[in-house]
Structure 1
């Protein structure tokens, strides 16, 4: 039987901004078919740690190893990365073609259907509410069917039904073998869906079981 290997592995990772140390000696592995929450107080360094994982910020110490190609890494930050002058479908077509994905039109339309925006496909993204823009951002992430998904407070601006849809999509990705890491501002609610909870506290990362592991 082939050994199951982590899709992302951090060893001894540290990051500081000037004299301020955010975190140090962070060891963590994201395995296929898991959903993990990343929690911690405001300013603890959660978003910075996720940017290190995504390859957008270099650590000051330690190593970051990703076993997925860049095209299979899905990263969703606070910014939506949308072009307000383009309609929803045009936004997705731009990103699909920029990533060199095959069947861009098919992928874009399927992603819009998945996030419930098919009837808004030809409306300009600039007039979308925060919740609709976040749904379109999620559609952008889904274009490449990523196997490593990093989400920085993805539920911000979403109503209850949209939050439910988001969680269902991430649980589906998990069941299909993806590794999902989610920065949550509602850990009490989201923990029941997670395999584990990673908490940044006192510049260190600690781990405990989530609801799915209990």
Structure 2
């Protein structure tokens, strides 16, 4: 069992320069993977506005998606569908292909988060679906994680670009003093920004969900 991830661009039709945006996605994804090597297969563009990647565990996927959300620049963001299940290789003369319940679950998840965003929860950006056949423990974990994601996304969507940078830095282990120097502000200003933006709660929530990452 792995976690397949499908990501699509929010508001892709509003992007003035699609090629430049794709370069930004590629650079950000590569940077996050270099600094936090969580993905077995980092997100890669497939067709249209979609990217696909694979994580070995739900903990890694939760952390990896959050890091990407925080690292992307202002005005550029993804929706994420996470599918828990088996994936299998398909022979192809051109490139390596995979298929299976994990991808089908990820497709259902991306469609769910898109529907939620368009209707009752405009801040929704990520959702998890487990392929059929999971045990009760996994079903409970998925329900709890989705509740967490709804709250987490609402925080991240409302954060400024600087607040996201500060949260990303703290997850990476940078001290508030180091972040203050990086941003050209004071350490108390960093502390205030982390508290007022919800970033401190975001980091604590991630640590509780994954058991170790903060």
Q: Smaller-chain TM-score range? A: under 0.3
Query: When the two structures are superposed, what TM-score results if normalisation uses the length of structure 1?
Result: 0.28
Which one has the bigger helix percentage?
2
If asked which structure has higher relative contact order (CA below 8 Å, sep 6+), I would say: 1
More strand per residue: 1
Q: TM-score, normalised by structure 2?
A: 0.28
